[in-house]
Chains A and B, each alone.
Chain A
Amino acid sequence: MAVTKSSPVPDMVVLSGELWQGFLELVTGQYRVIGPVRRGSEHVFAPIKNPREIDMAYVTTILPPKKVFHQPFQVLFSFDTEEGTLAEAQSGEEKVVWGIHPCDMHAIAILDKVYGVEYPDPYYLRNRENTIIVAKNCTEVGENCFCLSMGTGPALRSGCDLLLTDLGGRYLVEVGTEKGRKLLSGLELVPAPRVVLVEKEKRLSQARQKFKKRMVTQGIQELLEENFRHPIWEELMRECLACGSCTMVCPTCFCYNVVDKIDLDLKTGRRQREWDSCMLLEYAQVALGQNFRRDRDARIKQRMYHKLLYYEPQFGTLGCVGCGRCIGACVKRIDITDVVSRLAESVESDR
């Protein structure tokens, strides 16, 4: 492949075959890349050594790409009580996250507000700053996806460094930022004709036809406020296992616990934070054993109300991006869209 350093990178290109492979090799050769790979019959975001490991056709992943920025286990600092010293955790090298779907991009935009505005979080922001995001529009739709009804997919408008759309054997690559453009430099590229945007739109509107699940968002706030004592919560209390899976896999959940990991010398150690979940009994426990959410129904409501009601005043947006992970991960198949639909139906039939 001819490489011309000086050729400028256009805003929009179509890559296929050798050129696409060359692009993948270029990026994986130059950066630490984290992308979607198979794990059994599921997928996970994992470090990519060989571009062939990337599965561009993935539908969803066990954990969302949030884990790259808000890490499940994040060391904050290490300490030595004898010396009386603290050492802040070092930031990682620059990396690329490959193939993030629009729902997860919207979730990252929400986390940017959670961790970037009122109380800026240096750990999150550092992970965010040294990461280049290559997003990918969805042309296939999973059985639990309902981003369309949340306005968070299947197409992404902004927020990423590069945006990919599968045009069937060819990829449309759109430049979002200069950071993204950097990834393409070194390849000999010709600008894509504007007519490919018509093809892109066609693929995306085909995708929109494929959704089977939707959230009833109209009047959702009033619906929830008025039905805090609805019998459905008691039914869910009997069903829910309080296992916490639904919150562990949610791309917008941001709760964590802080723990000290002390070495065997009992003098040195690390302070780290770990994901926590409001679905777990101990989450709302305070000193002397009092617990504000001892009952399971109170915890189910906390999760669903936080996503669909309390995020709005906090962050100016709903807290659910319709990724469907909480539905797919639930052993009891508890479905947040179904809960809302049933509430809406029962109100309708009362009228």
Chain B
Amino acid sequence: MSTKPKVSVYKLSSCAGCQLEFLNLEPVLLDLVGAIEFSYFPMARRRYEPGPYDIGFVEGAVTCGEEIERLKKARQECRVLVALGSCACYGGLPSIKNWTPERVIVSRVYENPALVHSIKAYGIDEYVQVDAYLKGCPVNKDELVEFIKGTLLGIRPRLRPHSVCVECKLNEYECISVIKREPCMGPVTTAGCGALCPSRGKACDGCRGPANDANAESLARTFSEYGLHRSDIVRRFRKFAGLTQEFSRGADAV
């Protein structure tokens, strides 16, 4: 038996893109595997070892009763429970359905709605206590590694709490908002992605959820000045983290 910290990776309602980031860590994956043991990681390993685990990563939003049960079991068997990605943090993309009646949504997608027992999509902290949040759609690899290192050392990992703009400026990307008057969510979105979208000339979509002092109302007013229709502003603030207090203020601002 190895004495390496045991890690588990769970999947709820999600696209598996965040788990995939573990595998995309290829250049450091071997070092990582040297430091930790993936004891439960169905997407990557056929063999499971039973809990308890030292760190559990939960990917995905909770969208049905069965997932609540699995989540509660995960909480019980993990010392540290981490919300992996924006779905687990805030409900993420699945949460865009929350503003339409469940019946309507289900019948839009499934042929036989009677077989589906879905509920409103929530982040995992609606049901269990969460020790850490790794934001992003998908999570950022460097942040993931930073978090694992910090946890192994027993120190607080440095996860940037402020706006995407800071990283955008540090890298000197052209400002999508000021220069192109496009509705960039960067000023109210948590950094940590290295301002990925502005680096490609695209407005930030807000995938990492609200920054620590997000002033979404004010940004919504600016979007409106840029000529964005009210319904588009609402959609921007509800895309990944519409359930959060901060972004719901943005959606309601104009």
Contacts and interface: CB of A to CB of B under 8 A. Distances in A.
B22 to A, nearest CB: 14
Given A259-B158, A277-B166, A266 B152 contact: yes
Given A40-B179, A63-B172, A243 B166 contact: yes
A101 B174 CA distance: 21
Which of B178, B201, B214, B219 has its CB near the most chain A CB atoms (within 10 A)? B178
B159 to A, nearest CB: 11
Contacts of B178: 328-331
B244 interface: no
Contacts of B75: none
A170 interface: no
Contacts of B187: 241, 243, 245, 331
A150 interface: no
A72 B194 CA distance: 14
Nearest to B145: A264
Given A42-B174, A264-B28, A266-B149, A248 B165 contact: yes
Contact of A242 (B168, B174, B177, B213): B213
Nearest to B153: A266
Interface in A253-268: 259, 262, 264-266
B213 A296 contact: yes
A330 B35 CA distance: 44
Contacts of A244: 162-163, 165-166, 169
Interface in B129-183: 145, 149, 152-153, 158, 161-163, 165-166, 168-170, 172-175, 177-179
Contacts, number: 112
A262 B211 CA distance: 25
Interface residues of B, number: 38
B111 interface: no
The bracket for how many chain A residues form the interface is: 35 or more
Nearest to B178: A331
Nearest to B170: A72
Contacts of A167: none
B212 interface: yes
B24 interface: no
Interface string A31-63: 000000001111010000000000000000011
Contact of B175 (A44, A63, A73, A329): A329
Given A296-B215, A328-B178, A281 B31 contact: no
A241 B172 contact: no
Nearest to A257: B158
Contacts of B184: 331
A228 to B, nearest CB: 21
A245 B219 CA distance: 14
Contacts of A280: 161-163, 166, 212-213
A262 B153 contact: yes
B155 to A, nearest CB: 8
Nearest to B219: A241
Given A241-B218, A264-B145, A281 B212 contact: yes
Contact of B218 (A40, A240, A262, A329): A240
A23 interface: no
A351 interface: no
Interface string A232-250: 0000001111111100110
16 contacts: A40-B174, A42-B174, A62-B169, A63-B170, A63-B172, A72-B170, A245-B187, A248-B170, A259-B158, A262-B153, A280-B163, A282-B162, A282-B212, A330-B178, A331-B165, A331-B184
- For the complex of A and B, the 4 pairs showing the least CB-CB separation, nearest first, are A248-B169, A243-B187, A40-B174, A241-B187
Interface of A: 39-42, 44, 62-63, 72-73, 238-245, 248-249, 259, 262, 264-266, 274-275, 277, 280-282, 296, 328-332
Interface of B: 28, 31-32, 35, 145, 149, 152-153, 158, 161-163, 165-166, 168-170, 172-175, 177-179, 184, 186-188, 201, 211-215, 217-219, 222
Given A262-B153, A277-B162, A332-B222, 5 more contacts: A42-B179, A241-B187, A244-B163, A266-B153, A328-B178
